[in-house]
Structure 1
Amino acid sequence: MSTLALGIIGNCSVSALVDDKARILWWCLPRPDGDPVFHALLGSNGAPEDGAFAIEVEDYSHSEQHYIENTAILRTRLIASDGSTVEIDDFCPRFLSRGRVFRPAQIVRRIRPVTGRPRIRIVLRPRFHWGSARPEITSGSNHVRFVSDGTTLRLTTDAPITYIRDETFFVVERELNLFLGPDESLTSRPATIGREFQEETEYYWKRWSLRLGLPLEWQEAVIRAAITLKLCTFEETGAIVAAVTTSIPEAPFSERNWDYRFCWLRDAFFVVRALNALSDLETLENYLAYIRDVIALTKGDHIQPVFGIGLEAALTERTEALPGFRGMGPVRVGNQAHEHHQHDVYGNIVLAAAQAFFDKRLLRQGTMEDFRHLEVIGDRAYMLHNSPDAGIWELRTRSRVHTSSSLMCWAALDRLAKIANQLGVNPKHWRSRANEVHAKICAEAWNEDVGAFVESFGGADLDASLLLMAEVGFIDPLDPRFVSTVDRIGEKLRRGNHLYRYHAADDFGRPETAFNVCTFWFIDALGRMDRREEAREIYETMLSCRNHLGLLSEDTDPQTDELWGNFPQTYSMVGIINGAVRLSRRWDKVV
């Protein structure tokens, strides 16, 4: 069962969410962290249709929906009670043109009759300023303009303009094309451009998918996850958003409603790492440019864990007046995490950058100057490895020395030693520091009474982030201490085939839903420990929790398998890829 029957379309400049009835319920402009001109996903303060772009078939019976194979083009069939059917293809154009990628802030919708004489109506009601402003509407012979405070959206179409303005049902007897985006005229007939844009966009995504290095098993799931991660990138700067939404609660009426339309350096590292495993290096190169800008911006001082996709440092949190997802407010804009000290960020930066010093395929190799900048990051990691912070789960009212933060500080020092060695620099300085921090973690984070590493130095609670110890190379996965930690985590945090982040109460009480990426970390740990059958069983459970289009949000209710939290969640889609790469049978064993 899924509460989020949504698909994502996009082009690495903008992204939108379309439900299973072909209604566009979420689209932010001018970029993914902007004003949602379609905000119906979070409710409306007017009519239910406000803040949405719907194509409705008269006497609706049911729908069918899927992506065109290996693309980001979403196809929906709306079927009336008499069997009359209309088909809608939704996409944001993305293809190579004149030596660069063409990716306008535009949605294209192509409508065609399939059977019978379907009657449809087009309901297009963008709103501005988080739903508070209705636009002025003007129109011409082939377009409708929506104007508000200097922002203008233009719909250009070969559908009847009068019927669109009046929201009138009409018979679809031929293919119709709708282009919604900047206030610019088309250079040719809508039918011609619609066909060309779709063909070129389909070709782009199929060629992109073709270059992926896939595991033998679960290929459809992996391809869909990879395309989804790509759609969560903001190519202009190289930033990667954690999700394209804000304020979908982690659990019903929990008020755990956060804005995830920003670039967490932690999440982004896991995204590029997963895509690297599939041989997509373009995303990494773009992200490394973003990281270099972050380092230049901060000049070696405190680095916050999250930035805006345009390097904005201030992400001041506020609430808006929309009712919220299924009426479950608040709707938050911005994220207080930008004020936090989360010391794992230094490890995430170095881990992401390290590949540039070893991978000869990259267009821009890591340089000695890059290494010197990373050494400044390493100095802070060493200085802060034993200091309290908000931790990976961004606790708002409690600070302690979190093991996961110290772990990533160690990872920064360890990778700097390896990079130094690669560059012909004596690695002794960084290796000595890494060894010191390693010994500190082993001494302070191991709790003999619990029989496991624990979430903070001197603590007694368990935390799923400890599962990353093997992934980052801190400990051998067959080390008895790690095996015992995994077992204790399974005993305390596992509910069925789902894993919670932790069991202790936080700022909002005890977590009510399982955190999907933690389940995938558990799967990975089991796979590393040669408990593959157990890992595969849990992995299949997670795949069954995806929505009808193969997408996951942040959280899952272990009792109902309902999806909760922001969507689609990059962490969760990363887990799909990592699980398949870890557990799949090998190509050379069957081919």
Structure 2
Amino acid sequence: MTKHTYDMGVVGNCAFLALIGTDTAVRWLCWPRFDSSFVFGSLLDERKGGEYSVRPVAADFSSKQYYVQNTNVLCTEITTADGSYRVTDFAPRFLQYERYYKPLMFIRKIEPLEGTPRVRVACRPVGEYGEQELTRRRSSNHIAFLGMEEEIRLTTNIPLTYVLDEEDFVLNETKYLVLTYGAPLEAPLESTAERFLVSTVAYWRQWVKSTSISNFHQTVVIRSALALKIHQYEDTGAIIAASTTSLPEAPGSTRNWDYRFCWMRDTYYILTAFNNIGHSEELERYFHFIANISTKVEDKYQPLYGIGGQSKLVEKELPLAGYLGNQPVRIGNDAYTHIQNDVYGQVLVALLPLYVDCRFQDPGRPTPLALVEESLRLIEATMDQPDAGLWEFRHIAQKHCYTYLFHWAGSHAALQVARSVGNAELEAKARRLLKVSQEHIEACFDAERGAYTNAIGSENLDASTIQLITMGYLDPNSERTKHHLAELEKELKTPEGLFYRYRHPDDFGTPETTFLICSFWYVEALACVGRLDEAVAEFEQLITYTNHLGLLSEDVDAKTGSQWGNFPQAYSHVGLVNAAYRIAKKLDKPNFVG
């Protein structure tokens, strides 16, 4: 079996994301939001997905794709027998009038590099996940695509006839394509596109300069940080798990899910990642998204929410061909109906800095203590309730060790808040729940194997229990920790150093691919227990599973190294950032930056 990789780059500006193939085709772009219908979606259906490309006429060509260093600006160079050209793709983002300018505007700059290459430009956006064909209206210097709520407009200095007829032409000077949703470009085309490009490159480079990153594999950490950044929907602060839907966890598995939502289970890891790279602005926006969700909760938190805070994310299947024929294609995610009780601890850990970190305290905007009290109440109410667990089993409910770990972590966070505000009643309750949570975690311990199982009364092991080590529940120097880690390695680790989430059957059979973030958790655990050389070696193996641009998928086939699952996966990049940080701190080199 050949190695499968996602040969695409991602661009974005915290308002939208686009995936561009090595042939310049825009394989995925949703407008006006991350979770809207695609306007270009050939990733899931070549026929219904529309097209936006600057392809060479020659069938025989080579391609090179790369990012402008330390930016989310993507370049694709195409070389044919006739000549070569470069397409520079970016979503404008920069500071203007004391706020970030991040329009629904996708800019493509096409430059001839050598010879006389012939190209063909196609632009055919669609609506309603390919069910709606848009009407074209030709104007003097642009093409309007009509039929959606707002107009999509292509402004270009390429003869419109060539674009409308998809006729090839010789590229002998620089051309520009500016695609907009809603507000169109009403400024000079060439000078504006160049100014936006220069400003966007400058913005991303300044953002990278302001990160706190060690010299340990700095390049891959920077790429992960940049990828993670554009998965934040800045308007509300939500961070999505991935920009895509229905890319299969393994071919033919039917594990095809919509990940364009904000998972509460990711909260702790995402906040840790942004904190580790020293970016408080993204932290604060995310805090306020979580706080806004918290004020709307009545009886329980959901495992995930929409990027606008919506709670109803009805799952349905679409009549699309699917990625490489993998069906079903789903939008929405039924996991919003699940019981997943670790979320209360996740929320408490997430909100903690608003109460105890001086960087986020604003005397003019007090953070209500009710948010902490309510989350702690929900921990108490669900302490003995089975749930779907971290991996969102659809028809299996257990009392999961991981859930109790976050009950423990959440109670610990509430205890810190109570101390900081001098609330004795809250402190007493937090202490009591801390103790009860610990008792439930210990009920998962299998003394015969010397390991913590995934749930009370279960014999199965689960990679999520690695977090008992990395979150400080277990003493990293204890024999119990060493035994627990050894048992996890024996059952869940592949010879390549990758980790399965679990190996027991679930609602869809036994998982076929490994889950990348579990492998990064393992690296962190190795660093925690002092096996630093192994941690470095494992980390260096894991970064070989990126695509040609340093982007990570959700899952990896251990035997072939193939990428599977939604892409790029923010969760995987979070894992990389946190593992690199943990190793760098342990190495404790004097050249640590930040």
Same fold (TM over 0.5): yes
Q: Superposition pairs for residues 448-527 of structure 1, below 5 Å?
A: 448-496=447-495, 497-527=497-527
Question: Which deviates more, 250-259 or 468-477?
Answer: 468-477
The corresponding residue for 2:154 is 155
Q: What's the counterpart of residue 358 of structure 2?
A: 360
Matching residue of 2:590: 588
The answer to whether the 8 Å contact 1:88/1:112 transfers is: yes
How big is the shift at 1:261? 0.2
Which residue of structure 2 lines up, in the alignment, with residue 322 of structure 1?
Answer: 320
The one-letter code sitting in structure 2 at the alignment partner of 1:519 is S
User: Is contact 2:104–2:182 with CA below 8 Å preserved after alignment?
Assistant: no
Aligned equivalents of 1:316, 1:514: Cα separation in 2: 28
What corresponds to 2:207 in structure 1? Answer: 208
| Percentage of matched positions with identical amino acids | 35
Partner residue in 2 for 1:406 = 404
Aligned counterpart, 2:190: 191
How far the C-alpha of 1:402 sits from its partner, in A, is 0.8
- Which residue of 1 is the match for residue 416 of structure 2? 418
- Could you say what secondary structure the match of 1:499 adopts? coil
Report Cα offsets for 1:329-382 as digits up to 9, x if no partner. Answer: 110000000000100000111111112223222364798753332111011112
Normalised by the length of structure 1, the TM-score is 0.96
Deviation at 1:45? 4.0
Output the amino acid matched with 1:348.
Answer: Q
Instruction: Please report the TM-score for the alignment, with normalisation by the length of structure 2.
Output: 0.96
What corresponds to 1:383 in structure 2? 381
Offset of residue 452 of structure 1: 0.3
Aligned equivalents of 1:230 and 1:589: distance in 2?
25
Q: Kindly tell me: are residues 111 and 363 of structure 1, through their superposed partners in 2, closer, same or farther at Cα, counting changes over 3 Å? A: farther
Is the 2:6–2:563 Cα contact (8 Å) retained in structure 1?
yes
The amino acid across from 1:476 in the alignment is D
Q: Which residue of 1 aligns with 2:229?
A: 230
2:16 equivalent to 1:14? yes
Change over 3 Å in CA distance of 1:67–1:216 after alignment to 2: same
Deviation at 1:218, TM superposition (A): 0.8
Q: Is the CA contact (8 Å cut-off) linking 1:45 and 1:322 kept in structure 2?
A: no
Correspondence 1:282-361 to 2 at 5 A: 282-299=281-298, 301-361=299-359
Tell whether the 8 Å contact from 2:553 to 2:572 is kept in structure 1 after alignment: yes
Displacement after TM superposition at 1:17 (Å): 0.5
Choose which of 27, 30, 34 in structure 2 pairs with 1:28. Answer: 30
Contact 2:348 2:372 in 1 (8 A): yes
- What is the CA–CA distance in structure 2 between the aligned matches of 1:481 and 1:368, rounded to whole Å? 43
Question: Distance in 2 between the 1:590 and 1:517 partners?
Answer: 24
Aligned to 2:92: 93
Kindly indicate whether the alpha-carbon contact (under 8 Å) linking 2:451 and 2:480 is maintained by their aligned counterparts in 1: yes
Moved more, 51-60 or 569-578: 51-60
Q: How does 1:40-51 map to 2 (within 5 A)?
A: 40-46=42-48, 50-51=49-50
Residue pair 2:246, 2:257 contacting (<8 A) in 1 also: yes
The 2-side partners of 1:244 and 1:195 are apart by 27
Determine the C-alpha separation between the residues in 2 that align with 1:579 and 1:183: 41
Q: Residues 380 and 18 from structure 1, CA distance in 2 versus in 1: closer, same or farther, beyond 3 angstroms?
A: same
**Alpha-carbon distance in structure 2 between the residues aligned to 1:31 and 1:102:** 16
Contact 2:462 2:501 in 1 (8 A): yes
AA aligned opposite 1:81: A
Higher deviation after alignment, 53-62 or 223-232: 53-62
8 Å Cα contact 1:255/1:329 also seen in 2: yes
Q: CA deviation at 1:187?
A: 3.0
Q: 5 Å matches for 1:67-216? A: 67-82=67-82, 84-216=83-215
| Structure 2 residue aligned with 1:549 | 549
- Is contact 1:344-1:391 (8 Å) kept? yes
Give yes or no for contact 1:285–1:364 (8 Å, CA) kept in 2: no
Deviations 1:81-101 (A, max 9, x none): 34x111111011111111111
Structure 2 letter corresponding to 1:14: F
Report the 3-state secondary structure (helix = DSSP H, G, I; strand = E; otherwise coil) of the residue aligned with 2:549. Answer: coil
Partner of 2:40: 38
Q: Which residue of 2 aligns with 1:432?
A: 432
1:52-97 C-alpha deviation (Å, 9 max, x unpaired): 2111012242111111111110011011134x11111101111111
**Any conservation in 1 of the 2:354–2:361 contact (CA below 8 Å)?**
no
Offset at residue 184 of structure 1 (A): 4.0
Alignment partners' CA distance in 2, 1:575 and 1:126: 35
- For structure 1, which segment, 273-282 or 473-482, has the greater mean C-alpha deviation from structure 2 after superposition? 473-482
The residue number in structure 1 matching 2:540 is: 540
Q: Does 1:567 align with 2:579?
A: no
Task: Report deviation, 1:211.
Answer: 0.3
Q: Any stretches of 5+ residues in structure 1 without a counterpart?
A: none
**Partner Cα separation in structure 2 for residue 333 and residue 160 of structure 1:** 37
Distance of 2:326 and 2:592 partners within structure 1: 50
Give, in angstroms, the shift of residue 217 of structure 1: 1.1
Residue matched to 2:395: 397
Residues 23/364 of structure 1: CA separation in 2 closer, same or farther (3 Å cut): farther
Residues in 1 aligned to 2:267 and 2:371: alpha-carbon distance in whole angstroms: 20
Q: Secondary structure at the match of 2:581?
A: helix
Contact 1:113 1:173 in 2 (8 A): yes
Q: State the secondary structure of the residue aligned to 1:111.
A: strand
Question: Residues 418-468 of structure 1: CA distance to partner in whole angstroms, max 9, x if unpaired?
Answer: 1211223332331222022212321x1101122200000111100000011
3-state DSSP of counterpart to 1:373 = helix
